[in-house]
């Protein structure tokens, strides 16, 4: 994965193919290797051919679309493609033309079922078919949802094959990488674990110590367990009670990590410090940055303490590294290369880190999971022997409840969100549906609403329930609760959490929403 600012001339190797997710050095097109453009990358291909090929659409298209895949391979030997077109209303097929081509069909098995569900997230679109290209797929809103060059191995899709909401998108990548680029598929998880352990041992050397944040979530636990496997007690896990964790969470996490996973753990009580620094802050990015930098302050103090404690023991090395369970989606969503792509939010474990940590004054980063998606980390965890309950635990963000409380984080508001969250998650567990959703929580709105309890008027807080399904957390759908259960949850929250007048359920998909509220 390379930023769009990469200069092809600077590459020291030649790729077998290129997947474009956006803008790129125009020299990419002179490499002579297969190219697949996705969404903005597809528009880039069309725009480079002629800027009039791309324009703002009349309607935004976010979410599921039905793509009509127009080209089917008639006979592998003759590689004849039949182009058909359909009108979205009648779905009538009209034979349009036949194109003789020597190219393999990127759609491959994907096209055997002609109508496919694909995921769209765009506003601009192709308004003209670039010269020399044919149509691969159409949706009612995008006539050119998939295109292919007639003689060169250049393809573009407006939809997103990389997300789970394009259920067969992986096949399209496989066809491109294996059939068209001639790449081999040889990555397996067990090799990755051994490879990472060796890499960590080599990087850290025989003496240096490593410090790492743990939260009890699957990412930091997997990273900590891996580190323990690689360097034993020279790895020091630190759990910071930041005052915005879930109810009783700190105690539970301590037990699991120390007793069951044999991780060398220290717990720091930072609740008052975090809450005092959050006082008066309402802007989401400001809250995230304060939480990120407070974490680092505490870690740096802890690193000094560990180093002192290790003097004159067999573990007398310096604390040189800082472990983080950063995943690939955190990396993508936090980075903005020289401005062309938007920073969605600063995840505290990536962009929120103060520069001093990165520039050598403090600690160097180790991020063994930064190329993995959540489902891969879970598989990784299983292979490291971590219990299924922990492996399947819903993720919990570093900034905790603070980014689920819209506006100011006060001790009173934290207590309300915690209690409501506890009821919500307990009822989900009791209903036996915890593993059907990927993440669920109760958040708190800034506004208040009027209610009536007994004979009295109340003016109370609004709880926002959120539960989503996803595997990679880049896109997500709201979980479809049985309405009766939602009503029971709402009733219990209003009855049992003082100060709450209303309960709402957030049904926004991601995109355009995000999973957390801030
Ligand atoms: P969003 O809200 O970006 O969340 O759709 C995607 C996933 O990332 C988690 N998340 C975070 N995790 N530090 C973390 O460790 C953060 O700052 C952070 N922000 C979001 C979120 O819980 C979801 O699983």
Do the domains spanning 8-73+103-180 and 405-505 agree at the CATH topology level? no
Q: Residues of 473-488 as b/e, b for ≥16 C-beta within 10 angstroms?
A: bbbbbbbebeeeeeee
pLDDT on residue 91: 30
Paired tokens of 91? 């779905």
Can you tell me the distance from the alpha carbon of 431 to that of 7, in angstroms, rounded to the nearest whole number? 54
- Within 13 Å of residue 168, how many CA atoms lie on the same side as its CB? 18
Q: Ligand 1 center to residue 125 CA distance, Å?
A: 29
For ligand 1, atom 14: residue with the closest CA: 397
pLDDT on residue 453: 86
Question: What residues are designated binding site for ATP?
Answer: 215-221
For ligand 1, atom 9: residue with the closest CA: 397
- Please answer whether residues 158 and 146 qualify as being in contact, where contact means their C-beta atoms are separated by less than 8 angstroms: yes
CB 514 near ligand 1, within 6 Å: yes
pLDDT on residue 110: 74
Say what the ipTM of the complex is: 0.97
Segments making up each domain of the chain, as ranges: 8-73+103-180, 189-392, 405-505
Element (H, E) at 150: none
Which residues are the active-site residues?
A: 39, 160, 162
pLDDT on residue 113: 73
Nearest CA to 334 out of 324, 345, 326, 323 is that of: 345
Cis preceding linkage at 459, omega within 30:
no
Dump pLDDT digits (tens) for 220-247.
999 999 999 999 999 999 999 999 999 9
pLDDT on residue 498: 94
Q: Ligand 1 center to residue 104 CA distance, Å?
A: 40
Residues of the chain with pLDDT under 50: 72-102, 338, 350-354, 358-361
Query: Cα 286 to chain center, whole Å?
Result: 21
Decide if domain 189-392 falls under CATH 3.40.50.620. Answer: yes
Highest CATH level, class, for 8-73+103-180 = alpha beta
Can you tell me the distance from the alpha carbon of 481 to that of 509, in angstroms, rounded to the nearest whole number? 15
Alpha-carbon dihedral angle through residues 278, 282, 286, 288, given to the nearest 10 degrees: 70
Q: Ligand 1 center to residue 347 CA distance, Å?
A: 7
- Please answer whether residues 116 and 165 qualify as being in contact, where contact means their C-beta atoms are separated by less than 8 angstroms: no
CB 397 near ligand 1, within 6 Å: yes
A 10 A CB-CB count for 516 gives 18
Decide if domain 405-505 falls under CATH 3.40.640.10. Answer: no
Atom of ligand 1 nearest to the CA of 347: 17
A 10 A CB-CB count for 26 gives 10
Paired tokens of 349? 């474990």
A 10 A CB-CB count for 28 gives 20
- Within 13 Å of residue 288, how many CA atoms lie on the same side as its CB? 22
Helices and strands in the chain, H and E counts: 13, 19
For ligand 1, atom 21: residue with the closest CA: 397
- Please answer whether residues 167 and 117 qualify as being in contact, where contact means their C-beta atoms are separated by less than 8 angstroms: yes
CB 125 near ligand 1, within 6 Å: no
Nearest CA to 467 out of 480, 457, 453 is that of: 480
pLDDT on residue 449: 95
Question: What residues are designated binding site?
Answer: 215-221
Can you tell me the distance from the alpha carbon of 187 to that of 102, in angstroms, rounded to the nearest whole number? 30
Angle (CA) 162-163-169 rounded to 5° is 55
pTM: 0.70
pLDDT on residue 250: 92
Atom of ligand 1 nearest to the CA of 476: 5
For ligand 1, atom 12: residue with the closest CA: 397
């Amino acid at each position: 994965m390379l930023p769009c600012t990469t200069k092809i001339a600077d590459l020291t190797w030649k790729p077998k193919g290129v997947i474009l997710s956006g803008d790129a050095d125009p020299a990419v097109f002179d490499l002579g290797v297969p190219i697949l453009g996705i969404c903005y990358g597809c528009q880039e291909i069309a725009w480079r051919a002629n800027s009039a090929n791309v324009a703002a659409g009349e309607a935004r298209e976010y979410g599921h679309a039905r793509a009509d895949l127009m080209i089917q391979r008639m006979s592998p030997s003759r590689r004849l493609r039949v182009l058909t077109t359909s009108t979205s209303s009648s779905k009538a097929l009209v034979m349009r033309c036949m194109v003789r081509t020597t190219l393999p069909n990127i759609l491959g098995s994907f096209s055997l079922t002609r109508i496919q569900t694909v995921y769209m997230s765009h506003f601009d679109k192709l308004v003209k078919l670039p010269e020399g290209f044919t149509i691969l797929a159409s949706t009612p809103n995008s006539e050119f949802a998939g295109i292919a060059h007639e003689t060169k191995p250049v393809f573009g899709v407006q939809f997103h094959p990389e997300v789970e909401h394009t259920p067969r998108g992986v096949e399209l990548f496989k066809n491109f990488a294996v059939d068209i680029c001639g790449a081999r598929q040889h990555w397996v998880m067990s090799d990755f674990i051994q490879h990472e352990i060796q890499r960590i041992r080599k990087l850290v050397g025989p003496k240096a110590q490593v410090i790492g944040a743990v939260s009890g979530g699957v990412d930091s636990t997997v990273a900590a367990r891996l580190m323990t496997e690689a360097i034993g007690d020279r790895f020091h896990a630190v759990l910071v009670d930041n005052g915005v964790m879930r109810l009783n969470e700190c105690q539970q996490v301590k037990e699991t990590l120390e007793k069951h996973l044999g991780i060398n753990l220290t717990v720091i009580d930072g609740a008052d410090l975090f809450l005092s620094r959050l006082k008066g802050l309402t802007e989401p990015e400001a809250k995230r940055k304060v939480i990120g930098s407070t974490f680092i302050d505490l870690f740096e103090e802890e690193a000094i303490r560990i180093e002192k404690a290790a003097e004159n023991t067999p573990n007398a090395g310096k604390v040189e590294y800082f472990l983080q369970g950063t995943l690939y989606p955190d990396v993508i969503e936090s980075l903005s290369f020289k401005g062309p792509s938007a920073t969605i939010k600063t995840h505290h474990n990536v962009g929120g880190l103060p520069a001093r940590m990165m520039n050598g004054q403090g600690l160097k980063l180790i991020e063994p999971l930064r190329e993995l998606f959540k489902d891969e980390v879970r598989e990784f965890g299983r292979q490291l022997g971590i219990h299924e309950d922990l492996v399947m635990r819903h993720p919990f963000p570093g900034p905790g409840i603070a980014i689920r409380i819209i506006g100011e984080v006060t001790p009173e508001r934290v207590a309300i969100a915690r209690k409501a969250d506890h009821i919500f998650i307990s009822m989900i567990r009791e209903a036996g549906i915890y593993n059907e959703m990927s993440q669920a929580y109760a958040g708190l709105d800034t506004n208040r609403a009027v209610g009536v309890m007994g004979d009295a008027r109340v003016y109370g807080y609004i709880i926002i329930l959120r539960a989503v399904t996803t595997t990679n957390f880049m896109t997500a759908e709201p979980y479809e609760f049985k309405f009766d259960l939602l009503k029971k949850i709402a009733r219990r929250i209003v009855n049992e959490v003082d100060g709450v007048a209303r309960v709402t359920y957030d049904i926004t998909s991601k995109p355009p929403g995000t999973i957390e509220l801030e």
